[in-house]
Structure 1
Amino acid sequence: MSQIPAKGRPAEAILAALRERKAQDRDWRRGRLAVYFYWLDEDLERVQQQAYLAYWTENNLGQRAFPSLKSLEDEVIGMSLALLGGGQGAGGTFTSGGSESIFLAMMAARNRARARRGKMRPNIVLPDTAHLTFDRAAEALGLEVRRVPVGADLRADVAAMAARMDDDTVALVGSAPNYPFGTFDPIADLAALAARRGAWMHVDACVGGFLAPYVRRLGHDIPAFELSVPGVTSLSADIHKHGMAPKGASLLLVADAADREWHKFESRAWQRGPYAAYTTQGTRPGGAVAAAWAAMNHLGEEGYLRCARLIMEAKAIMMAGIAAIPGLGVLQPSDIGIFVWRATDPTLDIGKVAAALDAEGWLVGRQQEPDGIHLHLNPIHRSVAEEYVEAVSRAVAAARGGQNSRIGANERTY
């Protein structure tokens, strides 16, 4: 069992120990991971780090003490609302990540339905491709989860979701895009359904919020998903994903700022006096806000377009290259920087292919249904796109030759 040492260690010894431990981690700077990180270049990295250090210990709970943090947070929210269809009356909350943003949205949906409609046995209806964070939030909030299979196009089946709704349905969910396949649900149709039934409509754009608008500007067909879609109540978007900020920085945006009150906690039930918070956190790291603000201002629209272009170029190269390898196929459709590839030859064991890739140093994200390999690209993958295709070709040859059959070496990552 570890214990606090009796005597402190010198700073250099501590830093050397950290470097030694980190040497065992996967080297994301080489682009051999397609999960867990987002990186563009060293210039942005330095800006992120310096901005975070400028507020490394300030507590964003104390905005009376640190009004600069409030101004930074307000600007981050304002820039994001402008990007994602927020009107004059829209609002937002800065959170620690997509899980917290989604939790707050479901909390708000429950609380609004309880107050306005007296719903005490609430349920939420969502496609079965929606992130499992919704189930985790529902477990904590006392919500029944009704998952509905998606259609053959890997998008939410609006008619099937309507059939699962009842008078106790407090929220509908759509993804923009979903994580398993990278496809956009028909947000406009789901939002219209939610409006007719008086339900909260949440759009999970944690992955796509800061990427999809720029992919659309490059000429790709990206359906409307933003707050400006009639019937959309809230939208979650992670700045620490394709907003290219360090972790943890996310947003819960609402079309009507008054709806933030439904996820507010307020109490006077102790001796200290009134306490109020719009997040599940108390103490909030000021560095995360400062670094998000810095990343957005450093990149600007030009920088985000560059990121989108690099991602879509990498995807095109990888998809075409993999599809050309005998025995492999790319699952379609796929809308932005997420896609799945799999074996089309029944004699080819995709687990052995994954193990061969792992043996070469590529961290493999396994897809459960269908059995395949999942990629979530970010800008650095443009520099390794051709290299990855070559590695896949070698891995297929190794699998066919009976090499690298240690299936346990490849992870299922989500």
Structure 2
Amino acid sequence: MEERGISKQELESFLKEQKQRDLTYRKVLSSMCTYPREIAVYAHNLFLDSNLGDSGLFPGTKEIEDELIRMIGALLGNENAHGYISTGGTESNIQAIRAIRNRKRKEGLQQMNIIVPKTAHFSFDKIEDLLSLEVKKAGLDDELRVDVNLVEELIDDNTISIVGIAGTTEFGQIDPIKELADIAHNSDIFLHVDAAFGGFVIPFLDAEYQFDFSLDAVSSISVDPHKMGMSTIPAGCILFRDESYLADLAVNTPYLTTNEQCSLIGTRSGAPVAATYAVLKYLGRNGLRAIVDECMLLTRMLVRGAKAMDIYPVIEPVTNVVTLRFPDVDRVAKALEARGWRVSTTRAPKALRLVIMPHVTEDTIELFLNDLACVT
């Protein structure tokens, strides 16, 4: 940092240049984030100075968060769920497992493990490190869902939680949450559902899936409004069925306007909270359903176009994620990148991964299919 500052004009010029170096979402098919809605941006900017880490100073923002938790809880089967708006799925997953870890530690359990699918998000690798517990990874069935028989085989006396994914990051698949709930109920084990991606998709699909608090054994759910909720970044959400789990996360905060705090981070912006509230109130369930319908329509359009070139998906898409088989996936991905596209690849099975977010249009799909034909 220089001793003397620079002019506003010079600084703005520099910032604009740097922003122009960033990619727009126009040809991005690898990301589960998208442009936030205009109303979300408005609300975000309006609440930029609010800090829910000291919520007594910002009662209006706190009231919005309380109502938002009720709204998201109702969408996921329980309007009386308890939680808070986090920074995203990683924090939410950490907090879910930290809550049950802390409870079991108070009960005297020392060595602990959790069971997740092999398709679980990399946040669970961070959880293994941060929370000093073992993360066991269960294999998958032919449809790339977690194999519930393998989950059951991995359970032992030190298992404190099993995890199901509702919209896997790589394949968009939905684990058999109902069967996992039966196992959790019979074994009296905490069940966490990672619905970071699927939470704002699955409720609006034509097919019905049991994945949320409508299943009595589901203990917690993570969901990300900054993905298919089209809020500003960062906006995640952790929900618990039982409010007492928040007490397992709480620490005393004697010098703030509240006596305790259960969030992982201390200073917590109210801006994404207001943004999420605004977009959900503005769109309503009908608006969200229309957006999911359009994404699924374009997903099917992409799969049809690929099949016409004898290119087939690893699985028929369940959500708005497409994975295409190629004998030389990395070459295809690099060739598409050379044409300006941003795509990604899955691990096992190896495939080209494409996420059809709300910024994708019919023109985008047509242009992509044309380029795909040229590189294959």
TM (norm. structure 2) is 0.95
CA distance in 2, matches of 1:5, 1:222: 59
Output aligned runs, 1:10-409, within 5 Å.
10-28=7-25, 30-35=26-31, 37-39=33-35, 44-45=37-38, 47-86=39-78, 88=80, 90-116=81-107, 118-215=108-205, 219=206, 221-266=207-252, 276-326=260-310, 328-343=311-326, 346=327, 349-383=328-362, 384-396=364-376
Read off the aligned partner of 2:92 and give its amino acid letter: S
Ranked by relative contact order (alpha carbons within 8 Å, sequence separation 6 or more), the top structure is: 2
Q: What SS is found at the alignment partner of 2:200?
A: coil
Question: Would the alpha carbon gap of residues 274 and 20 (structure 1) be closer, same or farther in structure 2, given more than 3 Å must change?
Answer: closer
Following superposition, the deviation at residue 207 of structure 1 comes to: 0.3
CA distance in 2, matches of 1:365, 1:274: 44
Following superposition, the deviation at residue 272 of structure 1 comes to: 8.7
After the TM superposition, which of the residue ranges 365-374 and 95-104 deviates more from structure 2?
A: 365-374
CA distance in 1, matches of 2:331, 2:151: 38
Query: CA deviation digits over 1:391-410, x for unaligned, max 9?
Result: 111121xxxxxxxxxxxxxx
Read off the aligned partner of 2:147 and give its amino acid letter: D
Following superposition, the deviation at residue 27 of structure 1 comes to: 2.0
Long gaps (5+) in structure 1: 397-414
CA distance in 2, matches of 1:235, 1:197: 19
Q: What SS is found at the alignment partner of 1:103?
A: helix
Following superposition, the deviation at residue 32 of structure 1 comes to: 3.2
Query: CA deviation digits over 1:317-356, x for unaligned, max 9?
Result: 1111112213x2211143101121121xx4xx32222122
CA distance in 2, matches of 1:31, 1:160: 39
Q: What SS is found at the alignment partner of 2:191?
A: strand
CA distance in 2, matches of 1:59, 1:356: 45
CA distance in 2, matches of 1:273, 1:48: 28
Read off the aligned partner of 2:297 and give its amino acid letter: E
Q: What SS is found at the alignment partner of 2:164?
A: strand
Following superposition, the deviation at residue 295 of structure 1 comes to: 1.2
Q: What SS is found at the alignment partner of 2:304?
A: helix
Long gaps (5+) in structure 2: none
CA distance in 1, matches of 2:239, 2:256: 31
Following superposition, the deviation at residue 87 of structure 1 comes to: 5.0
Query: CA deviation digits over 1:86-124, x for unaligned, max 9?
Result: 154x212211111110000000111222234x2110100
Question: Would the alpha carbon gap of residues 272 and 204 (structure 1) be closer, same or farther in structure 2, given more than 3 Å must change?
Answer: closer
Read off the aligned partner of 2:43 and give its amino acid letter: A
CA distance in 2, matches of 1:204, 1:273: 32
CA distance in 2, matches of 1:126, 1:367: 18
Q: Percent identity?
A: 31
Aligned residues, how many?
A: 375
CA distance in 1, matches of 2:117, 2:250: 27
Read off the aligned partner of 2:374 and give its amino acid letter: R
| Larger radius of gyration between Structure 1 and Structure 2 | 1
CA distance in 1, matches of 2:337, 2:317: 24
Q: What SS is found at the alignment partner of 1:191?
A: helix
Question: Would the alpha carbon gap of residues 282 and 200 (structure 1) be closer, same or farther in structure 2, given more than 3 Å must change?
Answer: same
In structure 1, the partner of 2:2 is 5
CA distance in 2, matches of 1:314, 1:67: 42
CA distance in 1, matches of 2:253, 2:102: 16
Read off the aligned partner of 1:238 and give its amino acid letter: D
CA distance in 1, matches of 2:182, 2:248: 22
